[in-house]
Amino acid sequence: MAQKKAHEVDGFLSRLQAQYPIVLIYGPDKGLVSERASKFAKLTGVKLDDPFSNIRLEAADLERDPTRLLDEAHTVSLFGGKRLISIKNAGNGRNLTEVIKKLAKTGLENVYLMIEAGDLKKGAGLRSAVETAASAMALPCYADDARSLEGLIDEVLGEYHLAISLEARKWLKESLGGDRLISRSELDKLCLYAMGKDEITLDDVKAAVSDVSGLTYDEMIDAVLIGDLVGFNNRFDRQVATGNALFLILSAAERQFQQLQLLRQQVEVEGKTPSSAIASARPPIFFRRQKIMEQALTRWTLQRIAEAMERLQKAVLESRQNAALAEPVIRQALLALAVQSKRQN
């Protein structure tokens, strides 16, 4: 299978892998897709400012006229050298998928083909065509996790030769992560705001950085934990509107309930208070979430947490068995848990 896991993509893009002339860059983080597409384009060594060497196409146009891609792929450069064909806004169009399959089988000479797409489910036509081809590579792009955010912060601050306090870094990580390009833009804005200082402080972050992680899954599950029905529904609707993979919401829910289970065990078994359990949590709970977790600990017993995790497992199974009903299945499961929390208040 020609595919990389999310954490392996940056390593793949550290140098040109000429044995994979066809590259699919896809995922819900559009900013990260665009950033990695630019990186791959530079790796090819093609003159990106030359319209004869760098051909840009729209997937919608190729759906109407798929032979155009075949013609472009087999065109020989007048002045020699490599060529790059970039396809934007790809989805699961049948015609484009069939052409990609043909090109993967026949092979490409002196041509790189880069396809930018949104979130593609496993088994989707285009993704499957690339993943099963020996000469193609699929590169997923998901929203930054804590580790990749740390790297992004260090990268941008390093470019401006700025340091940052530990407290400011914690706040900054909580405010970034929804979209790579937006996160990078916010970091650039912060560095320009703090230019001339020895160290970026928490006040600098609060003053300069917008909260661009408003669509994160953790905030949605926090709303479930404390019975905030309106907050949950609003955040869930926003996730649906973005087209992001909804199964990741269930993963976030399972992760947070597991964390809650460990903390609740300290309360019920070891006799700790909710606040002391949270204070000693490892890894530490960010201070912006401590009050929410304290509320959750007063509402969820170990028995109720176990029942909630069983419900989540059932939702995972049902959403996988019937992908067409994934949205209502996931919403109903989480909404039921939010209602339960509200009643337990």
Does a structural domain hold residue 1? no
User: What is residue 215's predicted lDDT score, i.e. its pLDDT?
Assistant: 43
What is the tens place of the pLDDT at every residue in 128-151?
999 999 889 999 988 666 777 888
Inter-residue contact 151 to 176 (CB < 8 Å): no
What residue type is 75 in one-letter code?
A: T
**Mean of pLDDT over the chain:** 87
CA angle 283, 11, 104 (to 5 degrees): 130
Give the Cα separation of 310 and 313 in Å (integer). 5
Give the Cα separation of 204 and 284 in Å (integer). 23
Q: Give the mean model confidence (pLDDT) for residues 111-121.
A: 90
Question: Is 290 found in the same domain as 190?
Answer: no
The residue with greater pLDDT, 294 or 217, is 294
What is the tens place of the pLDDT at every residue in 205-238?
888 876 544 445 778 899 999 999 999 998 898 8
Last residue of a domain, one of 208, 234, 261: 208
Does a structural domain hold residue 60? yes
Question: Is 132 found in the same domain as 185?
Answer: no
pTM over 0.75: no
Question: Is 329 found in the same domain as 222?
Answer: yes
Question: Is 126 found in the same domain as 47?
Answer: yes
Find how far residue 131's CA is from the centre of its chain. Answer: 19
Range of the domain at 88: 6-140
The residue with greater pLDDT, 174 or 37, is 37
Question: Is 119 found in the same domain as 58?
Answer: yes
The residue with greater pLDDT, 164 or 175, is 164
What is the tens place of the pLDDT at every residue in 49-58?
888 899 999 9
Question: Is 327 found in the same domain as 231?
Answer: yes
Q: Reduced to 3 states, what is the DSSP secondary structure of residue 113?
A: strand
Question: Is 66 found in the same domain as 20?
Answer: yes
Inter-residue contact 189 to 206 (CB < 8 Å): no
